[in-house]
């Protein structure tokens, strides 16, 4: 169903004037005139809260003032139960339509009490019809009567019969069982009383807290597991680092040993070369001595030859 806005357009100059207007959050009237009316308001509002708890864009409230027109704080109604689809959940002091994307209330419930008068209910009906409510339901728990209206164009048309009716907007089913209203979730489960609902909410709260504790415990365990894993990884890293350092030290030690052996080898090589040089030098000295001896021998032999020649010459001279 297409949503039609029934609120007039406000221009900027008017808006500046309207910003100073105070919109009360209470009309001074009690939420309910008796316990029966209060119980039904709480039952319907509470079950609708449960029905739409997982839908963040469905706003459900009870006894909240609705101001459909900006600038008029006298034009208002406070439905016993209201539903605005397309509006976020959250606390409000009142439903000011111009602050809610100009969306009117979609579904309204009124629970009658003996104090309600026909003129008052007729005024409410005209208000809801004028300002765009799509579904309007009235339940009289004292008389066991249920009425409903559905929007067609600019009018709210009666729903007949109401028994077995399924709300187009909410998906809930209406029944009258032995003169008492019975409402059913789309799943077929019947709305529960507000005491049971409070108990269920308490159970859900306890369950949620237990789940939160379990979740925190799991988170703590996971955190501890992650920390242990990180510690293990750190230990492995340190072990690998220690192993790397040990290998590096071993390599340094091996290199030092190699360098020492290389120095020793070079020293021996130098010693060997020195010995070879000494041997070569000794050989050269021996050869020089041998040459000197040979030369001396040659000189001696030459001297002997000369002496013999002299002796021969002297002998010849003597014969002459």
pLDDT, residue 206, reads: 44
The pLDDT value recorded for residue 111 is: 96
CA–CA separation, 108 and 61 (whole Å):
10
Burial label for 125, CB within 10 Å (0-12, 13-18, 19+), is middle
Using DSSP's 3-state secondary structure scheme, residue 249 falls into helix
Q: What's the rounded Cα separation, in Å, for the pair 160 and 4?
A: 24
Q: Give the containing element (helix H, strand E) for 92.
A: none
- Residue 230 CA to residue 228 CA, distance in Å, equals 5
Query: Per residue in 157-170, pLDDT tens?
Result: 999 999 999 999 99
C-alpha 178, offset from chain centre: 52
| Strands across the sheet containing 145-152 | 58-62, 81-85, 107-111, 135-140, 145-152, 155-158
Contacts of residue 148, Cβ cutoff 8 Å, sequence gap at least 6: 135, 136, 137, 138, 158, 159, 162, 165, 174
d(CA 157, CA 129): 10
Phi, psi (rounded to 5 degrees) for 186 = -55, -25
Of residues 184, 195, 260, the one with CA closest to residue 35? 195
Rounded-to-integer distance, Cα 278 and Cα 124, Å: 134
**For the chain, what are the domain ranges?**
12-191, 193-282
Query: CATH homologous superfamily for 12-191?
Result: tt1808, chain A (3.90.1570.10)
> What was the pLDDT predicted at 77?
97
pTM for this model (two decimals) = 0.62
* Dist CA 299 CA 261 (whole Å): 56
User: How confident is the prediction along the chain (320 residues), in pLDDT tens digits per residue?
Assistant: 555 556 666 565 565 656 679 999 988 888 788 999 999 999 999 999 999 999 999 999 999 999 999 999 999 999 999 999 999 999 999 999 999 999 999 999 999 998 889 999 999 999 999 999 999 999 999 999 999 999 999 999 999 999 999 999 999 999 999 889 999 999 999 999 877 776 666 555 545 665 675 677 678 788 888 888 888 999 999 999 989 988 988 888 888 998 889 999 998 999 999 898 889 888 998 998 998 899 989 999 988 888 898 888 889 889 87
pLDDT at residue number 226: 87
Q: What is the tens place of the pLDDT at every residue in 55-81?
A: 999 999 999 999 999 999 999 999 999
Residue 58, SS3 per DSSP: strand
Using DSSP's 3-state secondary structure scheme, residue 111 falls into: strand
Cβ–Cβ < 8 Å for 84, 105: yes
DSSP 5-31: --SPP--HHHHHHHTT----S--S--S
């Amino acid at each position: 169903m297409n949503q039609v806005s029934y609120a007039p357009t406000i221009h900027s100059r008017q808006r500046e004037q309207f910003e100073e207007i105070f919109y009360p959050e209470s009309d001074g009237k009690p939420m309910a005139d008796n316990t029966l009316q209060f119980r039904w308001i709480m039952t319907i509002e509470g079950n609708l809260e449960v029905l739409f708890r997982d839908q963040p864009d469905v706003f459900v409230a009870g006894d909240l003032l609705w101001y459909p027109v900006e600038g008029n704080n006298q034009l208002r109604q406070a439905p016993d139960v209201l539903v605005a689809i397309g509006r976020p959940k959250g606390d409000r002091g009142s439903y000011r339509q111009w602050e809610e994307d100009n969306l009117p209330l979609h579904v309204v419930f009124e629970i009658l009490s003996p104090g309600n008068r026909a003129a008052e209910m007729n005024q409410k009906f005209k208000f809801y019809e004028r300002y765009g409510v799509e579904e309007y339901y009235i339940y009289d728990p004292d008389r066991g009567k249920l009425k409903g209206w559905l929007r067609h164009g600019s009018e709210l048309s009666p729903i007949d019969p109401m028994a077995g009716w399924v709300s187009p907007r909410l998906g809930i089913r209406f029944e009258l069982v032995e003169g008492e209203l019975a409402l059913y979730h789309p799943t077929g489960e019947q709305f529960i009383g507000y005491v049971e609902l409070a108990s269920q909410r308490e159970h859900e709260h306890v369950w949620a807290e237990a789940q939160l504790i379990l979740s925190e415990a799991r988170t703590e365990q996971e955190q501890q597991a992650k920390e242990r894993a990180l510690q293990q990884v750190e230990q492995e890293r340190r072990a690998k680092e220690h192993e790397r350092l040990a290998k590096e030290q071993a390599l340094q030690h091996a290199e030092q040993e190699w360098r020492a052996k290389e120095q020793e080898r070079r020293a021996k090589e130098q010693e060997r070369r020195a010995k070879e040089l000494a041997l070569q030098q000794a050989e050269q000295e021996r050869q020089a001595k041998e040459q000197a001896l040979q030369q001396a021998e040659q000189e001696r032999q030459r001297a002997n030859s000369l002496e013999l020649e002299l002796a021969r010459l002297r002998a010849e001279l003597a014969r002459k």
